[in-house]
Amino acid sequence: MFTATRRRSLLVLLVSFAFIALPAITSANHSWGGYHWARTSNPFTLKLGDNLSGAWDPYLGTTSSDWSVSDVLDTTIVAGRANPKNCRATSARVEVCNSTYGNNGWLGVAQIWASGGHITQGAVKLNDTYFKTATYNTPAWRNLVMCQEVGHTFGLDHQDETFGNQNLGTCMDYTNDPDGTLYNQLSNEHPNAHDYDELDIIYSHLDSTTTAGQTTLNGHMPPAMNDIDFDTPAQWGKLIRTSHGGRTEVYELDFGGGHKVFTFVIWAEEGRGRR
């Protein structure tokens, strides 16, 4: 508990400092650059569009109820509006899709569309090309990737990115041992208290506009931002961060005027070297 308190104090300090001096670079906490959904009250409700096949539905259910434990947000599963093959995002919500996206190297991808500091839409894609293989076709891997990618769409970053270390007990900790059987028996399939704390920090203020559920944000997103399928690194813009061993990466596509698309990637083991 002492450690958790210290970490949180440090986090608050870093976040405060970041807003004063470095609005775009806040890598030392696990908020993603301060990006968040605009809303006028808490808790706000974020719709998760279900574009999943039956095998994935229970995992979305688990993730939705896990994240809804947060004091500041609730998620609700609604009918999907995307074609799972390209998983185009829909304004003011998150589309969640699975498909056999091919041997492109990535296991899961989360994307957020941002205007200024606000997230306006999101998409999560789960690649069955790898989830059909013996390595990844487990409840633990499905929970980890679903939970982490949906977590990114709230503006959360990873708590830890080292592949082969002890689990922190959160899906925002990347690992090669999602259920914790190899290491310390801590499962990384669900959020932990520190994630809820971080959400409280990210969503501590209220906005005068709304981007979740409906949009009252002024200013339109450039049309090209919705016209890209974002399936390959060539469409993701510039690589802005890579973790130990390159197992997770973040890309940024800048459309100017504060309009950006961020792509969070978990690479599959089998996919390495195909990039």
3-state SS class at 255:
strand
- Region binding Zn ion by CB under 5 A among candidate stretches 60-68, 160-168, 195-203, 245-253: 245-253
Q: How far is the CB of 165 from Zn ion (least distance, A)?
A: 16
CA-based nearest residue to 250, from 238, 259, 241, 260? 241
Q: DSSP letters along 59-112, please?
A: HHHHHHHHHTTSSSEEEEEEE--S-TTT----TTSEEEEEE---SSSEEEEEEE
- Region binding Zn ion by CB under 5 A among candidate stretches 213-221, 225-233, 236-244, 257-265: 257-265
Q: How far is the CB of 97 from Zn ion (least distance, A)?
A: 17
- Region binding Zn ion by CB under 5 A among candidate stretches 23-31, 48-56, 162-170, 258-266: 258-266
Q: How far is the CB of 144 from Zn ion (least distance, A)?
A: 10
Binder of Zn ion out of 264, 267, 268, 271 (CB under 5 A): 264
- What is the rounded distance in angstroms from the CA atom of residue 168 to the CA atom of residue 1? 14
Q: How far is the CB of 174 from Zn ion (least distance, A)?
A: 6
Closer by beta carbon to Zn ion, 66 or else 207? 207
- The phi, psi pair for 184, rounded to 5°, reads -110, 15
Residues near 51 by Cβ (< 8 Å), separated by ≥ 6? 80, 81, 82, 83, 84, 87, 95, 96, 97, 98
β-pair partners for 118: 36, 115
- Region binding Zn ion by CB under 5 A among candidate stretches 12-20, 27-35, 181-189, 264-272: 264-272
Q: How far is the CB of 58 from Zn ion (least distance, A)?
A: 21
- What is the rounded distance in angstroms from the CA atom of residue 244 to the CA atom of residue 262? 19
Q: Tell me if 87 sits within 8 A of 97, measured CB to CB.
A: yes
Cβ neighbours of 192 (radius 10 Å): 18
Query: Considering only residues 205-224, where is the footprint of Zn ion by CB under 5 A?
Result: 207
The tokens describing 235, both together, are: 């469409």
Q: How far is the CB of 158 from Zn ion (least distance, A)?
A: 5
Work out whether 128 is an interface residue with Zn ion (CB under 5 A): no
- Region binding Zn ion by CB under 5 A among candidate stretches 43-51, 79-87, 190-198, 202-210: 202-210
Q: Which residues bind Zn ion (CB under 5 A)?
A: 148, 207, 248, 264
